[in-house]
């Protein structure tokens, strides 16, 4: 097949994971530099509908369906990829997710290829792969230059890249038959275990209104919830609030929480520590409300309001409702 860049699609229970479209976006950029095209490898069983969904983003999809691919296993995926690609691509991309960082090292071992994991950006310069990564708890950014005759394998941190949107002309779906020996999978999939408390996914929301320690006490959370509701958004939080159990951990934005990329992010009483900023700096529009005009959050905010959040937000909600 000889594609230059192959992105491994991720899906679960009939839904394509958003990182797949981020891989396509980055893959396209890299393919432009290597003079080739990006293809998506979609593996599963009964997933032709998903293949069509991915192809609607204007990218060719290589579709492999097999009983042994009904659920993800690294062994099944590695065998299928080896069969469907015939020769390894120049670059293989996977999400830096529990699936991607399980699969990528296995492929690297089987293909004797270098791997860079958890990249926040990737570029190709004169045949050298430049991988941007964060180290030391995201305190420092580094660029790694990797040169190899072998394929490059990289995992991309979800939320690092703007995903591709729907395209005017869909890409084609190319079914590829694969032979898989289930005995070589090494692992058996038994089922998904869900967290007991189901909560909303703040990473999927267009509007996130986050509360920080500046809201003073848990009883003031309805102020923030009121603004989120008025804007059709969801409530996020800085870490101290989830540490104090004011909100579930699933709401935490930042380095040790979730990375969000909403159209609108409103930081209410959040100082803007680097660990928080790591999780929201790529939002489309950032508005910060803080009493301290020198709070670091104002350095990343597009608009800043120096005010008491407990006075400003109710007034804003009133204004939004009357408008
Ligand atoms: C390894 C590690 C990982 C971490 N991961 C994360 C993470 O994922 N996410 C995260 O958020 N943090 C994380 N942290 C913690 C981070 O360093 C900060 O401590 C935290 O983000 C601060 O939260 P805050 O801004 O809500 O509180 P503070 O820093 O206490 O800031 C409160 C802000 O509210 C303002 N304020 C006070 N009263 C009002 C008012 N009435 N109206 C308006 N403004 C007001 C103050 O001026 C201040 O700027 C991590 C730390 C470490 C060491």
Q: Same domain for 106 and 215?
A: no
| Residue 60 predicted with pLDDT over 50 | yes
Asked, for residue 67, whether it belongs to a domain, the answer is yes
CA 200 – ligand 1 centroid, Å: 22
Whole-number pLDDT of residue 86? 80
Q: Which of 40, 41, 49 is nearest to 14 (CA)?
A: 49
Asked, for residue 142, whether it belongs to a domain, the answer is yes
Residues with Cβ within 6 A of ligand 1? Answer: 137, 212-214, 238-240, 252-257, 269-271, 273, 275-276, 279, 289-292, 295, 308-310
Tally of structural domains, the chain = 2
Long-range CB contacts for residues 226-229, cutoff 8 Å, separation at least 24: 226/313, 226/314, 226/317, 227/266, 227/268, 227/313, 227/316, 227/317, 227/320
* Segment among 91-95, 181-185, 232-236 with least mean pLDDT: 181-185
Q: Which atom of ligand 1 is nearest to the CA of 211?
A: 26
CATH number where 48 lies: 3.40.50.620
Q: Same domain for 169 and 296?
A: no
Q: Same domain for 46 and 92?
A: yes
| Residue 198 predicted with pLDDT over 80 | no
Among candidate residues 154, 184, 214, the one where a domain is terminated: 184
pLDDT in tens, 241-282: 999 999 999 999 999 999 999 999 999 999 999 999 999 999
Per the model's pLDDT, the better-predicted residue between 9 and 2 turns out to be 9
Query: HEC states along the chain?
Result: CCCCEEEECCEECCEECCHHHHHHHHHHHHHHHHCCCEEEEEEECCCHHHHHHHHCCCCEEEEEECHHHCCCCHHHHHHHHHHHHCCCCCEEEEECCCCHHHHHHHHHHHHCCCEEEEEEEEEEECCEEEEEEEECCCCEEEEEEECCCCCEEEEECCCCCCCCCCCCCCCCEEECCCCCCHHHCCCCCCCCCCCCCCCCCHHHCCEEEEECHHHCCHHHHHHHHHHHHHCCCEEEECHHHHHCCCCCHHHEECCCCECCCCCEEEEECCCCCHHHHCCCCCCCEEEEEECCCCCCHHHHCCEEEECCHHHHHHHHHHHHHHC
Mean pLDDT of 309-313: 98
pLDDT in tens, 122-174: 999 999 999 999 987 677 899 999 999 999 999 999 989 999 999 989 999 99
Whole-number pLDDT of residue 186? 84
Q: Same domain for 173 and 207?
A: no
pTM, full prediction: 0.63
CA 239 – ligand 1 centroid, Å: 7
Asked, for residue 265, whether it belongs to a domain, the answer is yes
Among candidate residues 139, 155, 184, the one where a domain is terminated: 184
Q: Same domain for 269 and 122?
A: no
Domain around 76: 5-184
Residue 182: pLDDT band with limits 50, 70, 90: confident
CATH number where 249 lies: 3.40.50.1220
Residues in the chain: 323
Ramachandran category for residue 269: left, alpha or beta (phi over 0 → left; psi -120 to 50 → alpha)? left
| Residue 195 predicted with pLDDT over 80 | no
Among candidate residues 158, 184, 210, the one where a domain is terminated: 184
pLDDT in tens, 81-131: 999 888 889 999 999 999 999 999 999 999 999 999 999 999 999 999 999
Mean pLDDT of 211-219: 98
| Residue 236 predicted with pLDDT over 90 | yes
Contact between 58 and 24 (Cβ < 8 Å) = no
Whole-number pLDDT of residue 34? 87
Asked, for residue 42, whether it belongs to a domain, the answer is yes
Q: How far apart are CA 185 and CA 71, in angstroms?
A: 12
Whole-number pLDDT of residue 281? 93
* Segment among 33-37, 57-61, 162-166, 284-288 with least mean pLDDT: 33-37
Asked, for residue 78, whether it belongs to a domain, the answer is yes
Q: Which atom of ligand 1 is nearest to the CA of 274?
A: 17
Q: Which atom of ligand 1 is nearest to the CA of 257?
A: 8
Mean pLDDT of 297-306: 98
Whole-number pLDDT of residue 192? 85
Q: Same domain for 64 and 156?
A: yes
* Segment among 176-190, 202-216, 229-243, 274-288 with least mean pLDDT: 176-190
Asked, for residue 165, whether it belongs to a domain, the answer is yes
Q: Same domain for 306 and 254?
A: yes
């Amino acid at each position: 097949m000889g594609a230059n860049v192959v992105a491994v699609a991720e899906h679960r229970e009939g839904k394509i994971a958003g990182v797949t479209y981020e891989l396509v976006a980055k893959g396209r950029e890299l393919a432009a530099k290597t003079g080739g095209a990006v293809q998506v490898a979609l593996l599963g069983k009964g997933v032709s509908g998903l293949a069509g969904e991915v192809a609607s983003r204007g990218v060719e999809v290589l579709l492999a369906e097999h009983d042994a691919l009904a659920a993800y296993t690294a062994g099944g995926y590695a065998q299928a990829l080896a069969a469907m690609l015939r020769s390894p691509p120049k670059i293989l991309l996977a999400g830096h997710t529990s699936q991607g960082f399980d699969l990528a090292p296995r492929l690297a071992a089987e293909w004797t290829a270098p791997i860079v994991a958890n990249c926040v950006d990737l570029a190709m310069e004169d045949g050298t792969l430049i991988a941007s990564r964060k180290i030391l708890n995201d305190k420092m950014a580094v660029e790694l230059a990797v040169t190899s005759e072998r394929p490059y394998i990289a995992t991309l941190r979800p939320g690092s890249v703007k995903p591709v949107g729907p395209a005017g002309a869909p890409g084609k779906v190319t079914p590829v038959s694969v032979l898989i020996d289930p005995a070589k999978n090494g692992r058996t999939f038994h089922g998904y275990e869900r967290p007991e408390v189901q909560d909303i996914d703040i990473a999927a929301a267009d509007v996130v209104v986050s509360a920080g320690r500046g809201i003073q006490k848990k009883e003031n959370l309805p102020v923030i919830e009121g603004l989120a509701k008025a804007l059709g958004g969801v409530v996020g939080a800085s870490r101290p609030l989830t540490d104090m159990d004011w909100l579930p951990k699933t709401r935490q934005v930042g380095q040790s929480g979730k990375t969000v990329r909403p159209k609108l992010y409103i930081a209410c009483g959040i100082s803007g520590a680097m660990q928080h900023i790591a999780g929201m700096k790529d939002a489309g529009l950032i508005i910060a409300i803080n009493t301290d005009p020198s709070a670091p959050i104002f350095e990343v905010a597009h608009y800043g309001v120096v005010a008491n959040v407990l006075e400003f937000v109710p007034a804003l909600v009133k204004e939004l409702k009357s408008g």
